[in-house]
Amino acid sequence: MEGQDTTISATPFEIKEIFSKTKTIAIIGLSPKPEKDSNKVARYLQKAGYKIIPVYPKEDEILGEKVYRELDEIDERIDMVDIFRKPEFIANVVDSVLKRDDVKCVWTQLDLVNNEAAKKAVAAGITVVQDLCTKIEHQRMFPFG
């Protein structure tokens, strides 16, 4: 896949620090379907103690949380934006992130890379993680039962 260079991504030390400092995660593309990866990851993150905020074009509630249509609609503090959208949509998400002053990390899931968007986020002082799964990385660093 074109653009799979993930050199614009946080180090393992930075990733551990991200998880330690993060409390609220907006999940872009959180499907209501339990069999979808975005739903499995969100459920895991909830169990790990994070507040999740679903961003999805339909549904009123997913995993017991109010669903927002766009990141711009969320009026509470967000620490991380976790993206489950195709690479061509990542730039729009990053543009929305750049309008906020609270997001410290933009994370794109496995096989999702957009280096141009990542460069914009990094230039604005936001940590970027690309092409990694939040669930897998969290389990590796903070295993719990």
pLDDT digit string, tens, across residues 36-66: 999 999 999 999 999 999 999 999 999 999 9
pTM score, two decimals? 0.93
pLDDT of residue 143: 79
Average pLDDT over residues 56-80: 97
**Could you tell me which CATH class the domain 12-141 is placed in?**
alpha beta
Residue bearing tokens 């993150």: 45
Q: Is 139 helix (H, G, I), strand (E, B) or coil?
A: helix
Task: Give phi and psi for 51, each to the nearest 5.
Answer: -85, 130
